């Protein structure tokens, strides 16, 4: 969503008389809101990854516990469960990488729009 709104900051013509969008401080605030949302997503995904790692470790330790009543008969189920958790962790790590990239792009766009607002149009803040 924000890319469509800030594409003119990156791709728009700077030629006099050309049709261009005039960015304001409100645009900078809106981009900051998107950046904050992306950072929240990263924080939650990293937290979920830590929880899943802990859960996987708990079930793997059960298989090493001689007092666990279904240690031998439940090994296949526990292994399948921990494999599923591994897939989920890998997927979350990929999503975290993507979100971090989106955050960098958002930050760069915010910097560009801020420059346009405060340097080129200081009277329109």
66 Cβ contact list (under 8 Å, min separation 6): none
* CA nearest neighbour of 37 among 103, 108, 112: 103
Instruction: Please give the pLDDT value at position 74.
Output: 87
Kindly state whether residue 2 falls inside one of the protein's structural domains: no
Kindly state whether residue 1 falls inside one of the protein's structural domains: no
Q: Per residue of the chain (125 residues), give pLDDT as tens.
A: 556 656 666 666 556 655 567 778 898 999 999 999 999 999 999 999 999 999 999 999 988 888 888 888 989 999 999 999 999 999 999 999 999 999 999 999 999 988 888 777 666 55
95 Cβ contact list (under 8 Å, min separation 6): 45
Q: How many domains does the chain have?
A: 1
Kindly state whether residue 34 falls inside one of the protein's structural domains: yes
52, 87 contact by CB (below 8 A): no
Instruction: Please give the pLDDT value at position 5.
Output: 59
Structure tokens at 58: 């708990």
121, 23 contact by CB (below 8 A): yes
* Domain around 85: 23-124
Kindly state whether residue 7 falls inside one of the protein's structural domains: no
Kindly state whether residue 107 falls inside one of the protein's structural domains: yes
Kindly state whether residue 6 falls inside one of the protein's structural domains: no
User: pTM of whole model > 0.85?
Assistant: no
Kindly state whether residue 80 falls inside one of the protein's structural domains: yes
Instruction: Please give the pLDDT value at position 4.
Output: 61
DSSP state of 15: S
Kindly state whether residue 13 falls inside one of the protein's structural domains: no
């Amino acid at each position: 969503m924000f890319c469509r709104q800030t594409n003119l900051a990156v791709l728009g013509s700077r030629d006099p008389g050309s049709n261009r969008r005039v960015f304001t401080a409100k645009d900078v605030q809106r981009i900051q809101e998107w950046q904050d949302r992306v950072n929240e997503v990263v924080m939650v995904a990293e937290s979920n990854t830590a929880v899943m790692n802990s859960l996987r470790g708990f079930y793997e330790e059960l298989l090493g516990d001689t007092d666990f009543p279904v240690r031998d008969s439940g090994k296949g189920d526990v292994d399948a469960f921990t494999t599923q958790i591994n897939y989920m962790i890998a997927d979350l790590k990929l999503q975290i990488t993507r979100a971090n990239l989106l955050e960098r792009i958002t930050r760069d766009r915010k910097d560009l729009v801020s420059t346009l607002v405060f340097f080129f149009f200081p009277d329109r803040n």
